[in-house]
DNA sequence: AAGGCTATGTAACTAATGTTACTGTGATCA
DNA sequence: TGATCACAGTAACATTAGTTACATAGCCTT
């Protein structure tokens, strides 16, 4: 594990901290579609993402969903951070977007490291900053954009996160992420196809130019 | 200033830290409507709110606005925190909602205190958590609620923040905060009046029951 | 190859929100 | 006191998004 750690977090953390992480953390692999965090659950360890991508969703009381953002290599989950520290329940849902490798750090160590390592503090603060900014970008996109623009942005994010120019999702799945209906998504995707920006297939969307 | 500090933050910080704050911080009073933070500006000090309320807005490139949340007594601005620490530009706009009293802490001290005082670390983390949750509540309300429900929630927030059951705003001002048009707000407010929940007057709205 | 299942396409309609344009009304001030 | 101005009321219409309903197409299983 230490090698994975050094490759992905070596530029952030000093050796001493890397060693400590190596001692107490556990390695975890998850497959696409696995639910990592349920809303309302308590969280006992914090993930550092080594590879893959994690989708973070908000769910309302009716079970309606909305995609908040993706976590990628080098990221951690700010919600988990604050849940751990403040002993709050999780307010979000996390699902593996692709097969992913994670390093899980037990809650107890975090407080200790925050006092001890400047690099850890910076990492934690930077993570919070990034998540807050992502949340605000999500707000921007819901508040200021129309559904067709949101869909475009969604497709762009997907290709970036999955690192390929094909989005392997059904229209229904996209509709859940954007909190709208399947018919609306089909309609808008068809429009994008007519404009020559994408090519529609069953269960997948090929991105031509966005 | 030390007395104000003790009254409002005494339960959070140990005496030594309160003394330090007292030494380096400056006291600031702002009047309703004052702009505290412009989007795109750099920030050199962090506010602790003693009294009053600060309105935090997001602005898009066209100058369209959206209310994110209010800061009140005991709060600090998480955006400012992360701007200070990460030396990012401000991504938000802050306006005094009411006449307010603030204690301004120079950026330099924050990093130092984070290493030195557990209570300060907890305060900073808790602030981040609260802001992230507020951002997510804003997302909930834009994504899952219709305009009439958002308006109701807005009126409730206003009465809470201003601590009175009259909202002293024009329909246009409310429309800006919710990022919609004046006509839409007038329409919905009229509906609420017909339902007996509010009483409309020029420049003010009396809340009867929400 | 037939049947069944899931995904997609599309029309027709409803609902919500946004826009334009005009009217009325209360406050202020020369 | 009457001219002006900002605010609010409202009708009529446009646009966007959500809903219902049904047709068709691709894929898998037997």
Check whether B126 has a pLDDT greater than 90. no
**pLDDT at position A90:** 84
Q: Which of A82-91, B32-41, B81-90 has the highest mean pLDDT?
A: B32-41
- Reported confidence tier of residue B115, pLDDT bands at 50, 70, 90: confident
Report CA-CA distances (Å) from A100 to A30, A31, A50, A97: 5, 6, 7, 8
Look at the alpha carbons of B76, B78, B83, B85 in this order and tell me if their dihedral is positive or negative.
positive
Q: Looking at CA atoms only, how far is residue A46 from chain B in angstroms? A: 15
Closest CA to B132 of A37, A179, A43, A88: A88
**pLDDT at position A89:** 81
**pLDDT at position A139:** 97
Q: Which nucleotides of C are covered by protein (CB under 7 A)?
A: 6-12, 16-21, 26-27
Residues within a 7 A CB radius of strand C:
A 170-172, 182-183, 186-187, 189-190, 193, 200, 202-203; B 146-148, 179-181, 183-184, 202
Closest CA to A38 of A84, A90, A80, A77: A90
- Greater confidence (B143 vs A44) lies with B143
| Mean pLDDT confidence for B119-148 | 93
Check whether A91 has a pLDDT greater than 90. no
**pLDDT at position A92:** 92
- Reported confidence tier of residue A202, pLDDT bands at 50, 70, 90: very high
Residues of A in contact with B119 (CB under 8 A): none
Q: Does B89 touch chain A (CB under 8 A)?
A: no
Nearest to A125 among B64, B86, B140 (CB): B86
Classify B189 as helix, strand or coil.
helix
- Reported confidence tier of residue A74, pLDDT bands at 50, 70, 90: very high
- Spatial contact of A18 and A105, defined as CB atoms under 8 Å apart: no
- Spatial contact of A138 and B139, defined as CB atoms under 8 Å apart: yes
Look over chain A and give the mean of its residue pLDDT values, rounded to a whole number: 93
- Reported confidence tier of residue A88, pLDDT bands at 50, 70, 90: confident
Distance CA A1, CA A26 (A): 9
Check whether B200 has a pLDDT greater than 90. yes
Closest CA to A89 of A35, A44, A29, A28: A44
**A144-201: pLDDT as tens digits:** 999 999 999 999 999 999 999 999 999 999 999 999 999 999 999 999 999 999 999 9
- Reported confidence tier of residue A65, pLDDT bands at 50, 70, 90: very high
- Reported confidence tier of residue B44, pLDDT bands at 50, 70, 90: confident
Neighbouring-strand partners of residue B103: B27, B48
> What percent of chain B stands above pLDDT 90?
77
Classify B149 as helix, strand or coil.
helix
**pLDDT at position B96:** 96
Q: Which nucleotides of D are covered by protein (CB under 7 A)?
A: 6-12, 16-21, 26-27
**pLDDT at position B89:** 81
| Mean pLDDT confidence for B165-180 | 97
**C-beta atoms of A136 and B78 within 8 A:** no
Q: What is the DSSP string of A16-73?
A: HHHHHHHHH-EEEEE-TT-EEE-TT----EEEEEEES-EEEEEE-TT--EEEEEEE-T
Check whether B210 has a pLDDT greater than 80. no
**C-beta atoms of B125 and A85 within 8 A:** yes
Neighbouring-strand partners of residue A49: A102
**pLDDT at position A108:** 87
- Spatial contact of A74 and A59, defined as CB atoms under 8 Å apart: no
Kindly report the pTM of this predicted structure.
0.93
**pLDDT at position A179:** 98
**pLDDT at position A42:** 86
Q: Which helix (H) or strand (E) holds B171?
A: helix B171-178
Distance A193 CA to C11 C1' (A): 19
Check whether B108 has a pLDDT greater than 90. no
**pLDDT at position B80:** 83
Alpha helices in chain A (DSSP H): 2-9, 15-24, 78-86, 107-116, 118-144, 147-162, 171-178, 182-194
Closest CA to A95 of A124, A66, A56, A143: A56
Q: At what angle do helices A107-116 and B118-144 cross, to 10 degrees?
A: 120
- Greater confidence (A110 vs A202) lies with A202
Look over chain B and give the mean of its residue pLDDT values, rounded to a whole number: 93
**C-beta atoms of A142 and B142 within 8 A:** yes
| Mean pLDDT confidence for B86-103 | 89
| Mean pLDDT confidence for B102-110 | 91
**pLDDT at position A80:** 83
How many CB contacts within 8 angstroms connect chain A with chain B? 99
**C-beta atoms of B81 and A122 within 8 A:** no
Check whether A21 has a pLDDT greater than 80. yes
Distance B195 CA to C13 C1' (A): 29
- Greater confidence (A141 vs B90) lies with A141
| Mean pLDDT confidence for B102-125 | 90
Q: Looking at CA atoms only, how far is residue B76 from chain A in angstroms? A: 15
Check whether A86 has a pLDDT greater than 80. no
**C-beta atoms of A82 and B128 within 8 A:** yes
**A113-138: pLDDT as tens digits:** 988 999 998 898 889 889 999 999 99
Distance B89 CA to C20 C1' (A): 39
**pLDDT at position A83:** 74
| Mean pLDDT confidence for B159-188 | 97
């Amino acid at each position: 594990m230490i090698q994975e750690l050094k490759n992905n977090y070596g530029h952030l953390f000093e050796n001493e901290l890397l060693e400590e992480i190596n001692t107490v953390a556990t390695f975890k692999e998850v497959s696409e579609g696995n639910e990592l965090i349920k809303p309302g659950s308590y969280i006992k360890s914090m993930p550092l993402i080594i590879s893959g991508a994690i989708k973070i969703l908000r769910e309302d009381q009716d079970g309606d969903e909305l995609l908040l953002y993706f976590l990628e290599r080098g990221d951690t989950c700010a919600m988990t951070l604050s849940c751990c520290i403040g002993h709050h329940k999780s307010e979000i849902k996390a699902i593996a977007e692709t097969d992913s490798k994670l390093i899980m750090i037990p809650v107890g160590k975090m407080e200790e490291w925050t006092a001890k390592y400047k690099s850890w503090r910076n990492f934690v603060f930077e993570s919070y900053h990034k998540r807050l900014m992502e949340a605000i970008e999500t707000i921007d996109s819901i508040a200021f954009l129309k559904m067709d623009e949101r869909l475009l942005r969604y497709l762009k994010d997907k290709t970036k996160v999955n690192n390929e120019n094909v989005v392997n999702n059904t229209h229904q799945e996209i509709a859940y992420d954007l909190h709208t209906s399947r018919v609306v998504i089909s309609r808008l995707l068809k429009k994008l196809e007519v404009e020559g920006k994408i090519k529609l297939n069953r269960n997948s969307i090929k991105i031509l130019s966005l």
